[in-house]
């Protein structure tokens, strides 16, 4: 900013114009909020029982060990009072400077003003002292069961993050500075962004993370060449065009999760796993699941197995003339692939030559971070919701996953958009993240009750398709890729599930990063490495301690594993055949319907 710009007088006419815009936008805001859905209290937060347990444990501790509580309080009071006195002394000496700040780095407080300006630094440090005191009080609270304590820690952290001074205009120096620099234009733009988001989501508070007009599925993302060669009520089957003159005989089918859409594996050519696989010489098929509505209320896990997995394998065998296929399951699709493989074993069906699992949970004994939402208070609320509507609206799953990373996916984007007045970025991954899907009512309840809560697959007790299914039935060669910082499918749980599979041929790869970035990790980026260790007889910690770290993507290592199980090379196959004519160009119609 130049000196002339800094000294430029405020333009009254511009301020008046912005005030008029704010009045119009305020009317639109009220209209948008009038359409907001009524969310049941059971889906808004944990039940009062959790808070009652916490209060009871706190009072019991205060009565039995008052010195512990007193020590916590004195520590907090001492820090806040000392900081207050230090700040007053600075002012008394005529120094408009902040006292010493030992709070350490925090991406929320990246502006230099948080450290140098006495007012903003005071607010920041007092917030940090309070956050630390609350966190310590919860962490050191005895008398709670481990699951209750973990939930209390999580929801306490949510409240702490919500109350950060960065989230409020009056205590955010960057937003205030921006408002002054733009004569209030940033606030007008921010209000316009807020109103637009509310209108886009029918009154629900959902921050648009990416510029929705910057991308078009099939236009500039999801563009790998292919054809839809089969369609039923559950999915479209896409066969991708060959990228080599020769292809391996055994076809490969990818089953992506139906919580989001498959094009996460085909965002753009540079990071498309789908494109990369075709370039390695594989005949690739990908399932694109339907986005269900109330008409799918009675569709359960058995339907996904019979009308999804088994139907797709049947069609791929018919198209290619091969008796066996290799398969990949990602996240919930990997969990269901495990169920399918158990069923196929019991039926004597040897169609699958090998199976790969991306970030897949089959052992739910430790649910990881997402477990805070898998207790009866939330699941009962979801069951009531889907019973009434016939499906679980994408709003709920999207919101749940966002709150697992609230600072990254809610607060920071809201600050940039609503306080700073910035337009959402043109970021393909964030665009995909906002393009979520609904879940059928029956399937939602079965998955949450049978798998997540009761862990019936790992126990060998789950009954689907008129059979009792178990991990021990899975005897095909298995390769599993888990991600080190995955907040949805904890890697140690994924590892334990693979341990229980009956296969004698198991490979486990641990990628750096999380649920998405750890999988969408092309070799060209040379970004995240991975760990390998052939000994799967030990527990997860011992496995990692003895594992070898490998630089770069796991993709080539997996491809080398897959190549050995894909047969000889044949002339490349074009999509479809006489009985499977092209129904649509990739990425198909299901991926863009039901938005």
Quote the CA–CA distance of 275 and 524 in Å, as a whole number: 13
Residues 141 and 280 in one domain: no
Residue 174 to residue 373: CA distance in whole angstroms = 34
71 within a domain of the structure (yes/no): yes
Domain that holds residue 588: 226-370+456-592
Q: 255 and 154 share a domain?
A: no
What pLDDT, on the 0 to 100 scale, is given for residue 497?
98
What integer pLDDT is reported at residue 5 of this predicted model?
43
Predicted pLDDT of residue 95: 74
Closest CA to 326 of 336, 339, 312: 312
Q: Whole-angstrom Cα distance, residue 99 to residue 119?
A: 11
Of residues 168, 98, 106, the one with CA closest to residue 131: 106
Burial class (CB in 10 A: 0-12, 13-18, 19+), 551: exposed
Distance, in Å, from the CA atom of 174 to the CA atom of 169, rounded to the nearest integer, reads 9
Within this chain, do residues 486 and 341 fall inside the same structural domain, yes or no? yes
Question: Is 466 a domain residue?
Answer: yes
Could you give the 3-state DSSP secondary structure of residue 391?
Answer: strand
Burial 60-84 (b: 16+ CB within 10 A, else e): ebeeeeeeeeeeeeeebeebeeebe
Tell me, yes or no, whether 494 and 355 share the same domain. Answer: yes
Span 230-275, pLDDT tens digits? 999 999 999 999 999 999 999 999 999 999 999 999 999 999 999 9
Q: What share of the chain is helix, strand, coil (3-state, %, to 5)?
A: 50, 15, 35
Same domain, 159 and 232: no
Beta bridge partners of 463: 468
What is the structure's pLDDT at 62?
A: 87
Pair type for strands 391-392 and 530-532 = unpaired
Q: Is residue 207 part of a domain?
A: no
Q: Do 103 and 237 belong to one domain?
A: no
Q: Is residue 303 part of a domain?
A: yes
**Active-site residue identified among 331, 465, 479, 483:** 331
User: Would residue 479 show up in a list of annotated catalytic residues for this protein?
Assistant: no
DSSP-derived letter for residue 423 is P
Residue 533 belongs to a domain with what CATH number?
Answer: 3.40.50.1820
Number of domains the chain contains: 2
Say if residue 249 is exposed, middle or buried (CB neighbours under 10 Å; 0-12, 13-18, 19+): middle
DSSP result, 139-170: HT--SS-HHHHHHHHHHHHHHHHHT-GGGSGG
Q: Indicate whether 506 and 578 sit together in one domain.
A: yes
H or E element that contains 275: helix 273-279
541 within some domain: yes
pLDDT value at residue 6: 46
Query: Cβ distance 569 to 247 under 8 Å?
Result: yes
- Does residue 279 sit in the same domain as residue 362? yes
Q: Which of 127, 152, 171 is the last residue of a domain?
A: 171
- Tell which phi-psi region holds residue 368, choosing left (phi > 0), alpha (psi between -120 and 50) or beta: left
Q: How many residues does the chain have?
A: 595
- Low-confidence stretches of the chain (pLDDT < 50) are 1-6
Helix (H, G, I), strand (E, B) or coil at 370: helix
Would you state the pLDDT for residue 1? 39
Bridge pairing between strands 226-231 and 530-532: unpaired
Whether the predicted model's global pTM rises above the 0.75 cut = yes
Which pLDDT score is estimated for 8? Answer: 54
Within a domain: 451: no
């Amino acid at each position: 900013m130049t000196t002339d710009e800094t000294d430029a007088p405020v333009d009254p006419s511009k301020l008046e114009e912005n005030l008029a815009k704010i009045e119009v936008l305020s009317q639109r805001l009220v209209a948008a909020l009038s359409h907001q859905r009524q969310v049941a209290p059971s889906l808004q937060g944990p039940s009062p029982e959790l808070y009652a347990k916490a209060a009871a444990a706190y009072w019991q501790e205060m009565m039995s060990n008052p010195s512990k509580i007193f020590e916590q309080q004195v520590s907090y009071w001492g820090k806040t009072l000392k900081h207050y006195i230090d700040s007053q002394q600075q002012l008394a000496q005529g120094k408009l400077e902040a006292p010493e700040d030992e709070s350490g780095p925090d991406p929320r407080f990246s502006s230099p003003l948080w450290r140098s300006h006495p007012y903003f630094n005071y607010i920041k440090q007092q917030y940090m002292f309070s956050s630390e005191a609350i966190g310590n009080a919860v962490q050191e609270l005895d008398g709670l069961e481990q699951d209750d304590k973990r939930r209390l820690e999580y929801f306490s952290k949510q409240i702490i993050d919500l109350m950060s001074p960065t989230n409020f205009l009056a205590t955010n120096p960057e937003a205030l500075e921006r408002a002054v620099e733009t004569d209030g234009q940033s606030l007008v733009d921010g209000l316009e962004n807020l109103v637009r988001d509310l209108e886009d989501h029918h009154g629900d508070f959902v921050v648009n993370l990416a510029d929705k007009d910057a991308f078009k599925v099939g236009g500039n993302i999801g563009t790998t060449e292919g054809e839809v060669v089969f369609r039923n009520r559950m999915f479209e089957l896409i066969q991708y065009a060959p990228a080599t003159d020769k292809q391996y005989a055994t076809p490969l089918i990818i089953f992506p999760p139906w919580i989001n859409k498959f094009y996460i594996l085909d965002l753009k050519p540079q990071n498309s796993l789908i494109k990369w696989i075709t370039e390695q010489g594989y005949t690739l098929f990908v399932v694109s699941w339907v986005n269900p509505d109330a008409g799918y209320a009675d569709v359960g896990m058995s339907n996904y197995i019979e009308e999804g997995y088994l139907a797709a394998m049947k069609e791929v065998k018919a198209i290619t003339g091969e008796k066996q296929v290799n398969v990949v399951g990602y996240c919930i699709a990997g969990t269901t692939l495990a169920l399918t493989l158990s069923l196929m074993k019991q039926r004597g069906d040897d169609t699958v030559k090998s199976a790969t699992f991306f970030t897949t949970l089959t052992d739910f004994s430790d649910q990881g971070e997402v477990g805070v939402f898998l207790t009866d208070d939330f699941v009962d609320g979801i069951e009531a919701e889907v019973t009434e509507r016939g499906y679980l609206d994408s709003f709920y799953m999207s919101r749940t996953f966002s709150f697992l990373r609230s600072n990254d996916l809610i607060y920071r984007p809201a600050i940039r958009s609503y306080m700073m007045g910035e337009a959402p970025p043109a970021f393909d991954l964030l665009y995909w993240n906002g393009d979520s899907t609904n879940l059928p009512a029956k399937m939602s309840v079965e998955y949450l009750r049978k798998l997540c809560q009761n862990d019936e697959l790992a126990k060998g007790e789950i009954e689907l398709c008129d059979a009792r299914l178990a991990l021990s039935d899975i005897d095909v060669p298995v390769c599993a890729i888990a991600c080190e910082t995955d907040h949805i499918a904890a890697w140690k749980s994924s590892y334990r599930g693979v341990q229980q599979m009956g296969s004698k041929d198991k490979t486990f790869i641990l990628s750096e990063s999380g649920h998405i970035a750890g999988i969408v990790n092309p070799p060209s980026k040379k970004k995240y490495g991975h760990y390998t260790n052939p000994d799967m007889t030990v527990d997860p910690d011992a496995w990692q301690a003895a594992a070898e770290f490998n630089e770069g993507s796991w993709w080539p290592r997996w491809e080398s594993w897959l190549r050995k199980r894909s047969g000889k090379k044949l002339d490349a196959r074009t999509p479809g055949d006489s009985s499977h004519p092209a129904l649509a160009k990739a990425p198909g119609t299901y991926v863009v319907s039901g938005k």
